[in-house]
A and B are shown apart, each in its own frame.
Chain A
Amino acid sequence: EDQVTQSPEALRLQEGESSSLNCSYTVSGLRGLFWYRQDPGKGPEFLFTLYSAGEEKEKERLKATLTKKESFLHITAPKPEDSATYLCAVSAGNTPLVFGKGTRLSVIA
């Protein structure tokens, strides 16, 4: 069975304190790895798609990277508005997106 594990479950950062979120996966035939941001009570907002090991994508203070076993979401100099739950999902074989449980990020001013 495909597995997606995110760590840590929760992360509290001071404004400007850079850090990384981890998403490890065990799937056969990875087709894509996806990062989403979700605010409380809202739908997940698409951030990035990564398709192959070594690939990197950037958007403002966020940078996503991918290896054969895991992905990292690096947050550089975060601001309070970056506070949200960050979700990782994988697509493999013929199955639709399988999501991890997410990392709850709090950025304190």
Chain B
Amino acid sequence: DSGVTQTPKHLITATGQRVTLRCSPRSGDLSVYWYQQSLDQGLQFLIQYYNGEERAKGNILERFSAQQFPDLHSELNLSSLELGDSALYFCASSVEWRTEAFFGQGTRLTVV
């Protein structure tokens, strides 16, 4: 158990809908990352927050947004969902923004 908690574990939704994925980092970790993993794409970095502020942005679509709250948990919002958004979404956390990151078990999103 990495100490990073993601909910829900599975999510099935229709195209055009909006969903919210939630992440609670390890106790003491200030940095939260979101990654997307599709079958043949590997882990793609989406966005990083550090102590409530956006630190880095990767290949995140405009339909996606995230935030980190004062209690350091984070949410990833995915809207106007398309079939191609079906993937595993991972949250990871680290003490600082350049150290090893610990991953949650992911949310498997299926868009139908």
Contacts and interface: CB of A to CB of B under 8 A. Distances in A.
B105 A99 contact: no
Contacts, number: 59
A34 to B, nearest CB: 5
B7 to A, nearest CB: 13
Interface of A: 31-32, 34, 36, 41-46, 49, 87, 89, 91, 94-102
Contact of A34 (B48, B90, B100): B100
- Which secondary structure characterizes the binding site on chain A? strand
Most A CB contacts (10 A, CB to CB) among B55, B56, B88, B99 go to B99
Contacts of A44: 43, 90, 92, 103
Interface of B: 2, 4, 33, 35, 42-43, 45, 48, 55-56, 58, 88, 90, 92, 97-106, 108
A99 B56 contact: no
Nearest to B31: A96
Contacts of B92: 43-44, 97
A32 B98 contact: yes
B29 to A, nearest CB: 13
